[in-house]
Amino acid sequence: MSETFGAVVEQLSRIPGVRGAVIAEKDAGVAVVQELAEGVNGNALAALAASLFRRTAHAGRASGFGAVSLVQLEAAGGHLLAVEAGELVLVVVAEQGAQLGLIRLEAARAGKSLA
Amino acid sequence: MRRTDLPRLVEALREPIATFVRESRVRIALLVNGAGQVLAQHGFTHRYEVMNVASLAAAAHASSRALAELTGAGRWEHLHHGGASRQLFLAPLRTPVDELILIAIFDADSSLGLVQVFYEALEQDVAALPEFKAARHGTDQANFERDLEAGLEVLSPDAE
């Protein structure tokens, strides 16, 4: 199983503009596997992104939108995508100017394969 | 640790503990020294609960450290109990002069990952406090109950 996880983050990390990816336990917020550019704290990213996903999912349900499958955060220096993957959440970090359409598509595909 | 140090330490720890509680979203947090002396607390409503948890945490810390050494596991990092509704996180918090013990209790509003992240930040904040840079006298076993009471007097004067 860990080989599958490793292959998923490796594949996502190869997309141009992607600075890395983490698979984390959604409820525990603990990283299962990570491949990140130097200087990115994977454990903190896993904990905070999983928390962000859980909170946003609650907000989605409270708004009557149903289940949330993807959360995208835009910041001055880049983008963060958190994708539902069953008990897990797949987190992708991308720099400004990255091909977000392609990254979203690949991340959603990877999330489904992990679920 | 001397009784006279306590009010100063409690005051110094107030802000770092408040930040930890706010950011990690834990329900209960308790910071004690190796002798079970209470230095900071958030979320307890009864004095006897603080006293019991502080004593048990000091014992758990001592036995975890001994077990880690005995088995060659090296420095112990943390204990985590994932209960059905509440979870417990117990970890040593290292400063230049003292090894403190953090006990955090949290529910679904937080997560183990969040608690770990902000525990590390708390450890850095506490280690940077001037109050934890100067050497102080240790507390021996004979003074355990006196120190425990002293901590509770400072932290919960209006409790039971």
Report the alpha-carbon angle A49-A54-A55, nearest 5: 95
Which pair of tokens denotes residue B154?
A: 């400072």
Spell out which residues of chain B touch residue A28, defining contact as CB-CB under 8 Å.
Answer: 82, 111-113
Say yes or no to pLDDT of A97 above 80. yes
How many CB atoms neighbour CB A21 within 10 A?
A: 30
User: How far A6 CA lies from chain B's nearest CA (Å)?
Assistant: 20
Say yes or no to pLDDT of B144 above 90. no
CB contact under 8 A, B114 and A29: yes
Contact residues, A window 10-69, toward B, CB-based 8 Å cutoff: 24-25, 27-31, 43-44, 46-48, 50-51, 54
Summarize pLDDT for A1-54 with one digit per residue, the tens: 778 899 999 999 999 999 999 999 999 999 999 999 998 999 999 999 999 999
CA A81 to CA B149: how far, in whole Å? 50
Summarize pLDDT for B59-115 with one digit per residue, the tens: 999 999 899 989 998 888 999 999 989 999 999 999 998 899 999 999 999 999 999
Spell out which residues of chain A touch residue B117, defining contact as CB-CB under 8 Å.
Answer: 43-44, 47-48
Q: What is the pLDDT of residue B157?
A: 47
Q: Pick from B117, B120, B124 the residue to mutate for testing the A interface (most A CBs within 10 Å).
A: B117
**Mean residue pLDDT across chain A:** 94
Nearest to A46 among B108, B110, B113 (CB): B113
Which pair of tokens denotes residue B152?
A: 């509770």
**Nearest residue to B107 via CA among B82, B144, B71:** B82
Confidence of residue B160 (pLDDT cuts 50, 70, 90): very low
pTM to 2 decimal places: 0.83
CA A86 to CA A88: how far, in whole Å? 5
Asked if the C-beta of B113 comes within 8 angstroms of chain A's C-beta atoms, the answer is yes
User: How far B40 CA lies from chain A's nearest CA (Å)?
Assistant: 25
Nearest to A44 among B82, B112, B117 (CB): B117
